[in-house]
Amino acid sequence: MINHRTSPALILLLLTALFALLTWPVWRWLWSEWWSNDSYSHGLLIPLIAGYLAWRRWPTEPLDGDNRGLVLTALGVGLFLFFVTRKATYLATFAMIIVLAGTAWTFGGLGLLRRLAFPLGFLVLMVPLPFVDRVTLPLALWTGTCSGWLARALGLDVTVTGAAVSLPNAEMVIGAQCSGINSIISLLTLTTLMAYTLDGPLWGRLALVAMAVPLAMLGNILRVANLLAVAQYLGVEAAFRFYHDFSGPIFFGIALLLLIPLARLFQCKMLRFELW
């Protein structure tokens, strides 16, 4: 067992300094991505939220270390160094989370690891994934097709052929910005946090998280169909230079509001007050 009675503050300080030094390239990359990648602009908040949840979940009784956690820590460090040297920074970030999990196991045993499972797992959502850019255009084309179908069902004269959208008064092209990927990632993060902070059956909380993607996609389809209606009746200028900028938050807010009745339907009605 690790002796926690010998200079615990010094041990913690040395481990924190070593961890910061080891993982500095990853944090520098994450910071750059959070500021430049619109899909992950919320990533800066995730470590802060995870840190708060870890603090709330921290046990009041003395920690009981378990040297078996050193195996997981060593595995995480090995993977981290392997991925960093090969410039696979996003995989190195996942390895960094494994290092944190192994450290929690080592110094607090499996009991601490179980208590911190969600805060540690929540960190995964801060990692920008490289394949996201590859799905934006196909997702945008699918959104355009669905939005065009909905617009025609509502009586609009709209034709969608691939990425081309034809209105009586304009010809437009569906771009990656119409994919709704930003809303999908943001709503998935929020519903995951919401499901954890609500008290309810496991199946209900998992169902709530599963609803994030279809809700975000539905909100984006309604938004694009609404933009087409504005473009036809008020002109392209009004639709894409004025209405386009604030329609996104409006429909994202609608998707968020729909989570409230869904949470009640899935029997997730009360907050877990021990987290606050």
User: pLDDT tens for residues 66-118?
Assistant: 899 999 999 999 999 999 999 999 999 999 999 999 999 998 899 999 999 99
CA 103 – CA 23 distance, rounded (Å): 14
Q: Count of CB atoms within 10 A of residue 118's CB?
A: 19
- Shared domain check, 243 and 219: yes
Out of 8-22, 27-41, 243-257, the most confident range is: 27-41
Give the burial class of 106: count Cβ atoms within 10 A of its Cβ; 0-12 exposed, 13-18 middle, 19 or more buried. buried
Question: Would residue 175 count as lying in a domain?
Answer: yes
Give the chain's domain count: 2
What is the per-residue pLDDT for 169?
Answer: 78
Query: 114 and 19 share a domain?
Result: yes
- Domain range enclosing 142: 132-275
Are residues 264 and 143 part of one domain?
yes
pLDDT of 54 strictly over 50: yes
What confidence tier does 180 reach under pLDDT thresholds 50, 70, 90?
Answer: confident
Does 1 score more than 60 pLDDT?
A: no
In a domain, 1, yes or no: no
- Whether 105 is in a domain gets the answer yes
Q: Do 112 and 193 share a domain, yes or no?
A: no
Q: How confident is the model at residue 274 (pLDDT cuts 50, 70, 90)?
A: low
Residues 138, 105 share a domain: no
Same domain, 271 and 182: yes
Q: Please tell me whether residues 147 and 252 are part of one structural domain.
A: yes
* Domain edge (last residue) among 78, 101, 126: 126
The confidence band for 2, taking pLDDT boundaries of 50, 70 and 90, is very low
At residue 12, the pLDDT reads 67
Average pLDDT over residues 27-53: 93
Identify whether 25 is part of a domain.
yes
Which amino acid is present at 29?
W
Residue 68 lies in a domain: yes
Check whether residue 119 and residue 26 sit in a common domain. Answer: yes
Note whether 151 and 103 are same-domain residues.
no
Per-residue pLDDT, 270: 83
Show which of 126, 154, 187 is a domain's final residue.
Answer: 126
259 and 155 together in one domain: yes
Handedness of CA 26, 27, 30, 35 (dihedral sign): negative
71 vs 64, 65, 75, 101, CA distance in Å? Answer: 17, 13, 6, 11
Do 165 and 106 fall within a single domain?
no
Domain boundary among 69, 91, 126: 126
Say whether both 157 and 214 belong to one domain.
yes
**Average per-residue pLDDT in the chain?**
87
**Residue 2 domain flag:** no
Is residue 193 pLDDT above 60, yes or no? yes
pLDDT confidence bin for 4, thresholds 50/70/90? very low
- Kindly indicate the confidence band of residue 247, based on its pLDDT and cuts at 50, 70 and 90: confident
Residues in the chain: 276
Domain presence at residue 69: yes
Q: Is residue 3 part of a domain?
A: no
